[in-house]
Amino acid sequence: MIENDGLILPVRYPKHWKQYELIDSGNGLKWEQFGAKILQRPEPQALWSPSSSLASLRSMTHWRFEPGGSRNGSWIPHERTGKGQQGRSSVEAGLDSDRWPITYQSQALNLRFHLAMTAFKHVGLFPEQADNWEFIASAVKALPAGAKVLNLFAYTGGASLAAAQAGAQVYHLDSVRQVVDWARRNADLSGLSGLHWVVEDARKFVQREMKRGHVYDAVLLDPPAYGIGSSGERWKLEDQLGALLDEVKQLLHPQRHAMLLNAYSLGLSPLILRAMLSPSYPDKDLECGETALQDRHSRLLPLGIYARATKGLLLPSMPSR
Protein backbone atom coordinates (compact mmCIF):
# COMPACT_ATOMS: atom_id res chain seq x y z
CA MET A 1 0.00 0.00 0.00
CA ILE A 2 1.38 3.44 -1.00
CA GLU A 3 0.38 6.46 1.04
CA ASN A 4 1.41 10.02 0.29
CA ASP A 5 -0.45 13.13 1.44
CA GLY A 6 -3.52 11.05 2.23
CA LEU A 7 -3.52 9.20 -1.13
CA ILE A 8 -3.67 5.42 -0.73
CA LEU A 9 -3.02 3.02 -3.60
CA PRO A 10 -3.85 -0.48 -2.36
CA VAL A 11 -2.74 -3.81 -3.77
CA ARG A 12 -5.50 -6.42 -3.78
CA TYR A 13 -4.99 -10.14 -4.14
CA PRO A 14 -7.37 -13.05 -3.44
CA LYS A 15 -7.09 -14.88 -0.14
CA HIS A 16 -9.77 -17.59 -0.42
CA TRP A 17 -8.52 -19.84 -3.21
CA LYS A 18 -8.17 -23.50 -2.19
CA GLN A 19 -7.95 -25.11 -5.64
CA TYR A 20 -5.66 -22.51 -7.21
CA GLU A 21 -2.14 -21.45 -6.22
CA LEU A 22 0.54 -19.28 -7.75
CA ILE A 23 3.52 -21.47 -6.96
CA ASP A 24 6.34 -19.22 -8.16
CA SER A 25 7.29 -16.73 -10.88
CA GLY A 26 10.40 -15.33 -12.51
CA ASN A 27 12.47 -15.26 -15.71
CA GLY A 28 9.35 -14.17 -17.58
CA LEU A 29 7.36 -17.23 -16.46
CA LYS A 30 4.86 -18.27 -13.81
CA TRP A 31 4.02 -21.67 -12.37
CA GLU A 32 0.42 -22.20 -11.24
CA GLN A 33 -1.71 -25.01 -9.91
CA PHE A 34 -5.26 -25.07 -11.24
CA GLY A 35 -6.98 -27.95 -9.49
CA ALA A 36 -5.13 -31.09 -10.53
CA LYS A 37 -2.92 -29.45 -13.19
CA ILE A 38 0.31 -27.53 -12.70
CA LEU A 39 0.98 -25.23 -15.64
CA GLN A 40 3.92 -23.08 -16.75
CA ARG A 41 2.87 -19.96 -18.64
CA PRO A 42 4.68 -16.85 -19.91
CA GLU A 43 4.46 -13.81 -17.63
CA PRO A 44 6.18 -10.69 -19.02
CA GLN A 45 6.01 -8.82 -15.70
CA ALA A 46 7.97 -11.49 -13.79
CA LEU A 47 11.31 -9.73 -14.26
CA TRP A 48 12.98 -11.34 -11.23
CA SER A 49 14.44 -14.79 -10.64
CA PRO A 50 12.22 -17.58 -9.27
CA SER A 51 12.44 -18.26 -5.54
CA SER A 52 12.60 -22.02 -6.22
CA SER A 53 15.14 -23.81 -8.38
CA LEU A 54 14.20 -24.24 -12.02
CA ALA A 55 14.82 -27.98 -11.69
CA SER A 56 12.25 -28.34 -8.92
CA LEU A 57 9.71 -26.23 -10.80
CA ARG A 58 10.17 -28.23 -13.99
CA SER A 59 9.84 -31.50 -12.16
CA MET A 60 6.37 -30.61 -10.84
CA THR A 61 5.06 -29.07 -14.08
CA HIS A 62 2.49 -31.03 -16.10
CA TRP A 63 2.19 -28.68 -19.08
CA ARG A 64 4.09 -25.66 -20.37
CA PHE A 65 2.89 -23.10 -22.90
CA GLU A 66 5.16 -22.39 -25.85
CA PRO A 67 4.35 -19.14 -27.70
CA GLY A 68 4.11 -19.36 -31.48
CA GLY A 69 3.46 -17.04 -34.38
CA SER A 70 0.66 -14.44 -34.44
CA ARG A 71 0.61 -14.46 -30.62
CA ASN A 72 -0.70 -18.05 -30.62
CA GLY A 73 1.09 -21.07 -29.30
CA SER A 74 0.64 -24.59 -28.05
CA TRP A 75 0.69 -26.54 -24.82
CA ILE A 76 3.50 -29.07 -24.49
CA PRO A 77 3.52 -31.87 -21.88
CA HIS A 78 6.52 -31.74 -19.59
CA GLU A 79 9.28 -34.05 -20.79
CA ARG A 80 9.58 -35.88 -17.47
CA THR A 81 5.92 -36.29 -16.58
CA GLY A 82 4.72 -36.81 -20.14
CA LYS A 83 1.22 -35.93 -19.05
CA GLY A 84 -1.36 -34.95 -21.69
CA GLN A 85 -1.50 -35.20 -25.44
CA GLN A 86 1.17 -33.56 -27.50
CA GLY A 87 0.39 -30.51 -29.55
CA ARG A 88 -3.40 -30.02 -29.26
CA SER A 89 -4.89 -27.03 -27.50
CA SER A 90 -8.48 -27.17 -26.28
CA VAL A 91 -9.49 -24.35 -28.64
CA GLU A 92 -8.32 -26.43 -31.59
CA ALA A 93 -10.22 -29.39 -30.14
CA GLY A 94 -13.43 -27.34 -29.85
CA LEU A 95 -13.24 -26.93 -26.06
CA ASP A 96 -14.66 -30.43 -25.66
CA SER A 97 -11.44 -32.17 -24.67
CA ASP A 98 -8.96 -31.57 -21.89
CA ARG A 99 -11.51 -29.65 -19.80
CA TRP A 100 -11.39 -29.85 -16.03
CA PRO A 101 -13.33 -28.18 -13.18
CA ILE A 102 -12.19 -25.84 -10.44
CA THR A 103 -14.07 -24.38 -7.47
CA TYR A 104 -13.81 -20.99 -5.79
CA GLN A 105 -15.33 -20.95 -2.32
CA SER A 106 -15.46 -18.23 0.33
CA GLN A 107 -17.93 -17.12 2.97
CA ALA A 108 -19.85 -15.18 0.30
CA LEU A 109 -19.41 -17.28 -2.85
CA ASN A 110 -19.34 -20.86 -4.11
CA LEU A 111 -18.53 -20.87 -7.83
CA ARG A 112 -17.41 -23.59 -10.23
CA PHE A 113 -15.68 -23.20 -13.58
CA HIS A 114 -14.72 -25.32 -16.55
CA LEU A 115 -11.08 -24.74 -17.49
CA ALA A 116 -9.40 -25.58 -20.79
CA MET A 117 -5.95 -24.93 -22.24
CA THR A 118 -6.30 -22.57 -25.20
CA ALA A 119 -3.99 -21.52 -28.02
CA PHE A 120 -3.65 -18.06 -26.42
CA LYS A 121 -2.13 -19.35 -23.13
CA HIS A 122 -5.37 -18.64 -21.21
CA VAL A 123 -7.34 -21.33 -19.38
CA GLY A 124 -10.69 -19.56 -19.08
CA LEU A 125 -10.11 -18.00 -15.68
CA PHE A 126 -8.14 -15.06 -14.26
CA PRO A 127 -7.65 -16.13 -10.63
CA GLU A 128 -6.48 -12.67 -9.49
CA GLN A 129 -10.03 -11.45 -10.15
CA ALA A 130 -11.41 -13.39 -7.17
CA ASP A 131 -10.94 -10.40 -4.87
CA ASN A 132 -13.03 -8.33 -7.29
CA TRP A 133 -15.71 -11.05 -7.18
CA GLU A 134 -15.90 -10.50 -3.43
CA PHE A 135 -16.38 -6.77 -3.98
CA ILE A 136 -19.11 -7.47 -6.54
CA ALA A 137 -20.98 -9.79 -4.17
CA SER A 138 -20.73 -7.21 -1.39
CA ALA A 139 -21.98 -4.40 -3.65
CA VAL A 140 -24.94 -6.44 -4.92
CA LYS A 141 -26.00 -7.24 -1.37
CA ALA A 142 -25.88 -3.52 -0.52
CA LEU A 143 -28.15 -2.69 -3.48
CA PRO A 144 -31.92 -3.22 -3.54
CA ALA A 145 -33.10 -6.81 -4.10
CA GLY A 146 -32.94 -7.90 -7.73
CA ALA A 147 -30.38 -5.26 -8.70
CA LYS A 148 -29.60 -5.06 -12.42
CA VAL A 149 -25.93 -5.68 -13.19
CA LEU A 150 -24.34 -5.21 -16.62
CA ASN A 151 -21.05 -7.04 -17.18
CA LEU A 152 -19.20 -5.75 -20.26
CA PHE A 153 -16.31 -7.65 -21.88
CA ALA A 154 -17.49 -10.44 -19.59
CA TYR A 155 -15.35 -13.32 -20.95
CA THR A 156 -16.15 -16.65 -19.25
CA GLY A 157 -18.24 -15.11 -16.51
CA GLY A 158 -16.46 -15.03 -13.15
CA ALA A 159 -17.84 -11.58 -12.29
CA SER A 160 -21.25 -12.45 -13.76
CA LEU A 161 -21.52 -15.59 -11.63
CA ALA A 162 -20.49 -13.68 -8.49
CA ALA A 163 -23.19 -11.06 -9.11
CA ALA A 164 -25.85 -13.66 -9.90
CA GLN A 165 -25.06 -15.73 -6.83
CA ALA A 166 -25.37 -12.59 -4.69
CA GLY A 167 -28.90 -12.09 -6.04
CA ALA A 168 -28.55 -9.76 -9.04
CA GLN A 169 -30.25 -9.81 -12.44
CA VAL A 170 -27.17 -10.18 -14.62
CA TYR A 171 -26.69 -9.08 -18.24
CA HIS A 172 -23.51 -10.81 -19.44
CA LEU A 173 -22.05 -9.32 -22.62
CA ASP A 174 -19.11 -10.36 -24.78
CA SER A 175 -18.52 -10.03 -28.50
CA VAL A 176 -17.23 -13.62 -28.87
CA ARG A 177 -19.96 -16.26 -28.93
CA GLN A 178 -17.60 -19.08 -27.95
CA VAL A 179 -16.67 -17.45 -24.65
CA VAL A 180 -20.31 -16.59 -23.92
CA ASP A 181 -21.10 -20.28 -24.43
CA TRP A 182 -18.22 -21.07 -22.06
CA ALA A 183 -19.75 -18.70 -19.49
CA ARG A 184 -23.10 -20.48 -19.87
CA ARG A 185 -21.40 -23.78 -19.04
CA ASN A 186 -19.82 -22.18 -15.97
CA ALA A 187 -23.23 -20.91 -14.85
CA ASP A 188 -24.70 -24.41 -15.28
CA LEU A 189 -21.79 -25.91 -13.36
CA SER A 190 -22.36 -23.38 -10.54
CA GLY A 191 -26.10 -24.13 -10.43
CA LEU A 192 -27.03 -20.60 -11.60
CA SER A 193 -29.80 -19.75 -14.06
CA GLY A 194 -31.68 -16.71 -15.32
CA LEU A 195 -28.66 -14.76 -16.57
CA HIS A 196 -29.16 -12.75 -19.78
CA TRP A 197 -26.57 -13.68 -22.40
CA VAL A 198 -25.66 -11.02 -24.97
CA VAL A 199 -23.23 -11.45 -27.89
CA GLU A 200 -22.47 -7.94 -29.11
CA ASP A 201 -19.93 -5.13 -29.29
CA ALA A 202 -19.81 -3.43 -25.88
CA ARG A 203 -19.76 0.21 -27.08
CA LYS A 204 -22.65 -0.34 -29.51
CA PHE A 205 -24.72 -2.06 -26.82
CA VAL A 206 -24.05 0.71 -24.28
CA GLN A 207 -24.99 3.40 -26.79
CA ARG A 208 -28.25 1.62 -27.62
CA GLU A 209 -29.08 1.19 -23.93
CA MET A 210 -28.54 4.93 -23.45
CA LYS A 211 -31.06 5.69 -26.23
CA ARG A 212 -33.54 3.26 -24.67
CA GLY A 213 -33.20 4.98 -21.29
CA HIS A 214 -32.25 1.75 -19.54
CA VAL A 215 -30.64 2.05 -16.10
CA TYR A 216 -28.40 -0.40 -14.21
CA ASP A 217 -27.52 -0.61 -10.54
CA ALA A 218 -23.98 -1.78 -11.29
CA VAL A 219 -21.72 -1.93 -14.33
CA LEU A 220 -18.62 -4.11 -14.51
CA LEU A 221 -15.97 -3.55 -17.18
CA ASP A 222 -12.93 -5.65 -18.06
CA PRO A 223 -11.96 -4.25 -21.49
CA PRO A 224 -9.02 -5.63 -23.48
CA ALA A 225 -5.94 -3.51 -24.04
CA TYR A 226 -6.14 -4.12 -27.80
CA GLY A 227 -8.63 -5.76 -30.11
CA ILE A 228 -10.29 -5.89 -33.51
CA GLY A 229 -14.08 -5.75 -33.72
CA SER A 230 -16.36 -7.96 -35.80
CA SER A 231 -16.33 -5.36 -38.61
CA GLY A 232 -12.55 -4.89 -38.52
CA GLU A 233 -12.60 -1.79 -36.30
CA ARG A 234 -9.53 -1.47 -34.08
CA TRP A 235 -9.76 -1.05 -30.32
CA LYS A 236 -7.05 0.53 -28.18
CA LEU A 237 -8.08 0.95 -24.56
CA GLU A 238 -6.28 4.25 -23.92
CA ASP A 239 -8.11 5.81 -26.89
CA GLN A 240 -11.57 4.45 -26.01
CA LEU A 241 -11.71 4.38 -22.21
CA GLY A 242 -12.67 8.02 -21.53
CA ALA A 243 -15.65 7.95 -23.91
CA LEU A 244 -16.72 4.51 -22.68
CA LEU A 245 -16.71 5.65 -19.04
CA ASP A 246 -18.75 8.74 -19.93
CA GLU A 247 -21.34 6.53 -21.60
CA VAL A 248 -21.41 4.00 -18.78
CA LYS A 249 -22.08 6.78 -16.24
CA GLN A 250 -25.30 7.55 -18.11
CA LEU A 251 -26.49 3.97 -17.60
CA LEU A 252 -25.93 3.97 -13.83
CA HIS A 253 -28.69 4.69 -11.33
CA PRO A 254 -28.19 8.35 -10.31
CA GLN A 255 -28.75 7.85 -6.56
CA ARG A 256 -27.09 4.52 -5.82
CA HIS A 257 -24.83 2.27 -7.86
CA ALA A 258 -21.53 0.44 -8.07
CA MET A 259 -18.94 0.32 -10.83
CA LEU A 260 -15.89 -1.90 -11.24
CA LEU A 261 -13.25 -1.32 -13.90
CA ASN A 262 -10.43 -3.78 -14.43
CA ALA A 263 -7.60 -3.16 -16.90
CA TYR A 264 -4.47 -4.98 -18.05
CA SER A 265 -3.04 -2.24 -20.28
CA LEU A 266 0.53 -1.21 -19.47
CA GLY A 267 -0.36 2.26 -20.76
CA LEU A 268 -2.63 2.89 -17.75
CA SER A 269 -2.01 3.17 -14.02
CA PRO A 270 -4.13 3.43 -10.86
CA LEU A 271 -3.35 7.15 -10.75
CA ILE A 272 -4.69 7.60 -14.29
CA LEU A 273 -7.92 5.78 -13.38
CA ARG A 274 -8.20 7.91 -10.26
CA ALA A 275 -7.76 11.12 -12.26
CA MET A 276 -10.45 10.00 -14.71
CA LEU A 277 -13.01 9.04 -12.05
CA SER A 278 -12.35 11.42 -9.14
CA PRO A 279 -14.48 14.27 -10.61
CA SER A 280 -17.50 11.96 -10.24
CA TYR A 281 -16.65 10.22 -6.95
CA PRO A 282 -15.28 11.57 -3.64
CA ASP A 283 -12.32 9.79 -2.08
CA LYS A 284 -14.48 7.76 0.30
CA ASP A 285 -16.39 6.24 -2.66
CA LEU A 286 -13.45 5.56 -4.99
CA GLU A 287 -10.61 3.07 -4.70
CA CYS A 288 -7.96 2.60 -7.39
CA GLY A 289 -5.11 0.16 -7.06
CA GLU A 290 -3.24 -2.86 -8.40
CA THR A 291 -4.43 -6.44 -8.74
CA ALA A 292 -1.94 -9.18 -7.89
CA LEU A 293 -1.40 -12.79 -6.88
CA GLN A 294 0.71 -13.88 -3.93
CA ASP A 295 2.91 -16.94 -4.40
CA ARG A 296 3.85 -19.52 -1.79
CA HIS A 297 6.99 -17.47 -1.04
CA SER A 298 4.83 -14.39 -0.17
CA ARG A 299 5.99 -12.48 -3.25
CA LEU A 300 3.34 -10.48 -5.11
CA LEU A 301 3.02 -10.72 -8.89
CA PRO A 302 1.27 -7.59 -10.29
CA LEU A 303 -1.32 -8.48 -12.91
CA GLY A 304 -3.42 -5.41 -13.61
CA ILE A 305 -5.12 -2.35 -12.18
CA TYR A 306 -8.65 -1.68 -11.02
CA ALA A 307 -11.06 1.04 -9.96
CA ARG A 308 -13.99 0.45 -7.59
CA ALA A 309 -16.56 3.24 -7.40
CA THR A 310 -19.82 3.40 -5.46
CA LYS A 311 -22.55 5.94 -4.87
CA GLY A 312 -25.08 5.83 -2.05
CA LEU A 313 -23.84 2.45 -0.77
CA LEU A 314 -22.43 1.44 2.58
CA LEU A 315 -20.04 -1.47 2.04
CA PRO A 316 -18.05 -3.39 4.64
CA SER A 317 -14.36 -2.54 4.59
CA MET A 318 -12.26 -5.12 2.70
CA PRO A 319 -8.67 -5.26 3.93
CA SER A 320 -5.93 -4.83 1.33
CA ARG A 321 -2.18 -4.84 1.42
How confident is the model over 157-181, as pLDDT tens digits?
A: 999 999 999 999 999 999 999 999 9
44 lies in some domain: no
Q: At residue 55, does pLDDT exceed 90?
A: yes
Q: At residue 63, does pLDDT exceed 90?
A: yes
102 lies in some domain: no
248 lies in some domain: yes
So what's the pLDDT on residue 71? 66
The range of the structural domain enclosing residue 272 comes to 126-311
So what's the pLDDT on residue 81? 47
E strand intervals along the chain? 2-4, 7-9, 11-12, 20-26, 29-34, 37-42, 63-67, 73-77, 100-105, 110-115, 148-152, 169-174, 196-199, 218-221, 226-228, 234-236, 257-263, 286-294, 300-311
The per-residue pLDDT of the chain, averaged, comes to 90
5 lies in some domain: no
Q: At residue 111, does pLDDT exceed 70?
A: yes
So what's the pLDDT on residue 236? 79
Number of domains into which the chain is organized:
1
So what's the pLDDT on residue 80? 47
> Which range has the worst mean pLDDT, 80-89, 141-150, 186-195?
80-89
250 lies in some domain: yes
Domain CATH code at residue 151: 3.40.50.150
Is the Cα dihedral 295, 88, 153, 277 positive or negative?
positive
168 lies in some domain: yes
So what's the pLDDT on residue 300? 97
135 lies in some domain: yes
Nearest CA-CA partner of 113 in 171, 35, 169: 35
Tell me what the mean pLDDT of segment 237-241 comes to. 88
281 lies in some domain: yes
| pTM score above 0.75 | yes
